[in-house]
Amino acid sequence: MEVLHIGSDHAGYQLKMLLVGELEKLGWKINDHGSHSRESCDYPLVAHPLCNAIAQDGSMGILICGTGIGMSIAANRHPEIRAALCTTELHARLARRHNDANVLCLGARITGDELALAITVAFLESKFEGGRHQRRIDEINTAK
Q: Point out the residues that are catalytic.
A: 65, 98
Residue 14, CA distances (Å) to 1, 129, 133, 138 in order: 24, 33, 35, 36
Reduced to 3 states (helix: H, G, I; strand: E, B; else coil), residue 35 is coil
Whether the CB-CB separation of 113 and 18 falls below 8 Å is answered with yes
**Cα(72)–Cα(86) distance, rounded to whole angstroms?**
10
